[in-house]
Amino acid sequence: MSAHRTGAPLVDVHAHFLHERCGRADWAERNASRIAAGERIGITVHIASVLGSWGESSPVYFPSPPDVTTGNEAMRTLARMHPGLVRGYVTVNPNYPEQAIAEIELGLAAQMVGVKLAASRRADDRLLDPIAELAGERGVPVLQHAWQHRTRDVPGQEISDALDLAALAARHPGTRFILAHIGGGGDWAHSLRALAEVPNVWVDLSGSGVDRGMLELCLECVGPARLLWGTDVTMETGWAKLRALEAMALPAGALEAIRWQTAARLFRLKP
C-alpha cells in the first residue's frame, strides 16, 4: 500500500488473465481481482499473457492454433479495456511456425509488447529460431517459460532451464530473452549460475517460490540490472518478494531498476 502512495511505477512483467472460453465460470471475477490486487500492491503496468484456452480445449503448454488465436485476441481485448495499465505478450506455439510468425506480426501491429513461449518446445530447439529472430528484429523481448524437474519429464510440458535458454540466446545475440519465474518451475540455484555470463537473458522474479537465499543469489549471479519484478498466477509471493527487496539494502538505484526502469526500457513502456 505504501508503494502505491509513493506513486513510483511498478511493472509486473509476468501476469496472466483468463477469458470466457477457458472453462472457468469465474474468469471475469478473477481478472477483476488481479486488477484490484494490483492496485493495492501498486502495479502501474501488468504485462500479461493468455495461454490459449488454459487447457480447456487444448493443452495449456501445447495450445492448438485456434486456441492460440483466441487467447491472443482475448489478451488484446483486455489491453484495450485497460489502456496503459494492461499490456500483452503474443503467445505462440513454435510447433506451428507459420502461425507463430503471423500471430507475432498481428500482435505487434496491435501494440503488444513481447512474445511469450510456454513449454511447447524445449528452449534450445531450432523451431524457436524464426521466432527469436523476428523478436530481435522488432526489438521485443521473448519470455520463456522455464521448467525442469531434474528427475523426470512431465507429459505436456517440455523441460527448459537456463542452459537451454542460454543456447538459444547465444544463437540470437541481438534478441533479448527473459527466463520466466525464477520462483517457480525448476532449480533456481542452477539456473542463476548458468546465466551469469549470458548478457541477453534477463530474469523475472515471479513464481510462487520464496526460498531463502533466492533473491540474494539473483543479485549475486545476474545483478540488479538484469532482474525484473513480476508475479505470475499467484500474486502474493510477488508482493512478498517486493517487500523483501525493499528491506534488503540494495545498491542505490537497484530497487527502481527492478521495479520498473529495466522493464520500461525492454518493453519500451512509458509507465
Q: Which is nearer to Zn ion, 162 or 255 (CB)?
A: 162
* The residue to which cell 477483476 is assigned: 32
> Max CA-CA distance within the chain?
48
Residue whose CB is less far from Zn ion, 202 or 254? 202
Between 203 and 254, name the residue whose CB sits nearer to Zn ion.
203
Amino acid, res. 214:
M
CA distance 37 to 259: 17
Stretch that binds Zn ion, among 77-85, 131-139, 171-179, 228-236 (CB under 5 A): 228-236
Question: CA 237, CA 206: separation in Å to the nearest integer?
Answer: 8
Q: Which amino acid is at 50?
A: V
Q: Which of the stretches 91-99, 113-121, 150-158, 226-234 binds Zn ion when contact is defined by CB under 5 A?
A: 226-234
Residues in region 119-158 near Zn ion by CB under 5 A: none
Query: With CB under 5 A, what is the number of residues at the site for Zn ion?
Result: 1
Q: Does 232 bind Zn ion (CB under 5 A)?
A: yes
User: CB 232 → Zn ion: shortest distance, Å?
Assistant: 4
Q: Are 195 and 222 in contact (CB under 8 A)?
A: yes
User: Which positions from 187 through 216 interact with Zn ion, judged by CB under 5 A?
Assistant: none
Nearer to Zn ion, 94 or 255 (CB): 94
Neighbours of 25 (CB within 10 A): 7
Residue type, 271: P
Cell numbers standing for residue 98: 507459420
Residues 6 or more apart in contact with residue 266 via CB below 8 angstroms = 141, 176, 178, 202, 228
Stretch of 60-68, 109-117, 169-177, 227-235 lying at the interface with Zn ion (CB under 5 A): 227-235
- Least separation in angstroms between CB 162 and Zn ion: 16
CA distance 145 to 89: 13
- The interface region with Zn ion, picked from 109-117, 164-172, 194-202, 230-238 by CB under 5 A, is 230-238
Residues that bind Zn ion (CB under 5 A): 232
